[in-house]
Structure 1
Amino acid sequence: MKHPVDVHVGKRIRHRRWMVGMTQQQLAENVGIKFQQIQKYETGMNRVSASRLWDIAETLDVPVSFFFEGYEGEAGAERSAKTSVQGDILADKEALELVRSYYAIPENQRRRLFDLARVLSDAA
């Protein structure tokens, strides 16, 4: 049976890997394991050891704590589901692609695009 923490960490690995445009194969090669192991981590089927999580964090250029962000445990899960849709948004491939494309835009243009999006959403 999958443990909720393992599932959460796996989702965070997948999201970060996707955000930086890295394949499972590339991550696996950088960490020194087979891509099938990355698949098992990302689904929560296998737990990630502390040293392996450290290697993954270094490869994906995030602190280890990144993989635990947003996890509130079983008691907070119900409350979180009612008050936030962030988990649902991050699960949407189109939203992730939009965010990745957004951060690929030079900062001064990105700021203008952000201001435009804010005005359009206020007008809607």
Structure 2
Amino acid sequence: MPAARAFAREALADWGVRGRADDVVLCVSELATNALLHGVPPGRGFLLRLWLLPCGDGVRVEVHDSGDGVPAVPLESGGSDEGGRGLLLVSELADKWGVAEREPGKVVWFECGVPAD
């Protein structure tokens, strides 16, 4: 997910957002990875959108994909399995997150309060 991380980091820098930028970029990486692994058929991509919230006191990120199903935070985070922790990270780092329907597929989004410098 280097391209998604770079896009997010550049947008945040352009907006003068420094606080929690690493959290936002990590969440972008996790959602983009999930979209590629679980949300799009081979050969298809996903849409990544970032924007400042009204009053400029936060950022909203959306990852649109064409996959079905509703992602959920795993009930247990233990064990040695490396997968399944992306949404757990997003749920811990973001102020809010959720899933919305779209045709086809879904939008997984999060918001973080990140005041501009």
- TM (normalized to structure 2)? 0.27
TM-score by length of 1: 0.26
Query: Which has the larger share of helix?
Result: 1
